[in-house]
Structure 1
Amino acid sequence: MQDERTSVALARIENALSRIETASTRLPASEFDNEELARLRTAHQTLRGRVEQAVSQIDRLLAGQEA
């Protein structure tokens, strides 16, 4: 059960990273206005925090399996 949850979490993280990479190639940075850049920075920080939490949770789950 834990392996399945870990796999699902990792797949979600990989999908999110893929979407970010795809989005980053759509428009050159010069085509964004300051408001859009601020929105993207906020979204990036939010996503980064969620990913860090997910990775920490995965680490805790894996540590619990080893114990």
Structure 2
Amino acid sequence: MSADRIASAVTRIEAAMARIDAARESLGDSEARGSGSSARVVELVNVHEKLREQVAESLRELDALLATLEE
């Protein structure tokens, strides 16, 4: 995988994480105004955190792969 493709992938991942954050904040705001359940918000926050951890792990794997390819 070329450096340009990796940089592009990282950019897309970061953009996705920003969209997830915005959606979570938006949902949190609308849930706070409406009669939504706090259990659903907690569930979504947990899913969000799990996705963040998975993305972070993927980035670590990409870093390791790049380090191996650069040797």
Q: Same fold (TM over 0.5)?
A: yes
Greater RCO structure (CA 8 Å; 6+ sep): 1
2:17–2:52 contact (8 Å) kept in structure 1: no
RMSD: 2.4
Cα deviation, residue 28, structure 1 = 2.3
Q: Please state if 1:2 is matched with 2:6.
A: no
How many equivalent pairs are there? Answer: 67
- 1:6-52 Cα shifts (integer Å, max 9, x gaps): 12320221121220232244242861522222221221122112112
Which residue number corresponds to residue 13 of structure 2?
A: 13
Which one-letter code corresponds to 1:2 in the other structure?
S
1:13–1:51 contact (8 Å) kept in structure 2: yes
In structure 1, runs of 5+ residues without a counterpart are none
What percentage of residue pairs aligned between the two structures are identical?
30
- TM-score of the superposed pair, with normalisation by structure 1: 0.68
Aligned equivalents of 1:22 and 1:34: distance in 2? 18
Which residue number corresponds to residue 23 of structure 1?
A: 23
- TM-score of the superposed pair, with normalisation by structure 2: 0.66
